[in-house]
Amino acid sequence: MTSDRYMKGLREFKKHFGKAAVAYLQPLEEIYPKFAQVNMEFPFGDLYADHKSLDARTRELVALAALTVLGTLPQMNAHIKAALRCGATETEILEVITQMTAYCGFPLATNALLEAGKAFKEFDDMPKK
């Protein structure tokens, strides 16, 4: 479980999720450690950690597009904050969600926008270090 890929993924994950990283990972570890392991190893270790092909900010913006279409709000919330941590502005995030109205319609985009409102406030209230 403490493979090099896991440690590499965990480091990348913490850059994106900040202080929220531990709270996100803990229930996954408790329910099925293997799930937490592949979650760190594959998306974060294998994909996100490659900054040369695509920078972290762009990776988070395309993730927000996908999450709007999927309609999975807990991950939308987490990745909105991750996008802010990786240098995206609130306006860029809101524009991505607004553009999604043309790709997945207003209902899914509306729910993503309302989540953005919540996530922005929570982010402002978080201790920054």
From the CB of residue 42, how many other CB atoms can be counted at a distance below 10 Å? 13
- From 26, 34, 87, 122, residue interacting with its own copies (rule: CB under 8 A): 34
Q: For its own copies, give the closer residue by CB, 85 or 112.
A: 112
Q: Is 6 in the site for its own copies (CB under 8 A)?
A: no
From the CB of residue 37, how many other CB atoms can be counted at a distance below 10 Å? 20
Is residue 36 a contact partner of residue 6, using CB atoms and an 8 Å limit? no
Q: For its own copies, give the closer residue by CB, 21 or 71.
A: 71
- What x/- string results for residues 104 through 123 when contact with its own copies is judged by CB under 8 A? xxxxxxxx-xx-xx--x---
Residues 68-87 that bind its own copies (CB under 8 A): 68-72, 74-75
Handedness of CA 100, 94, 24, 37 (dihedral sign): positive
Distance of CA 115 to the CA centre of its chain: 13
127 φ, ψ (degrees, to nearest 5): -65, 130
Q: For its own copies, give the closer residue by CB, 53 or 127.
A: 53
Q: Is 46 in the site for its own copies (CB under 8 A)?
A: yes
| Residues 6 or more apart in contact with residue 79 via CB below 8 angstroms | 16, 60, 63, 64, 67
Instruction: Give the binding site for its own copies (CB under 8 A).
Output: 27-28, 30-32, 34-35, 38-39, 41-43, 46-48, 50, 53-54, 58-59, 61-72, 74-75, 91-92, 94-111, 113-114, 116-117, 120
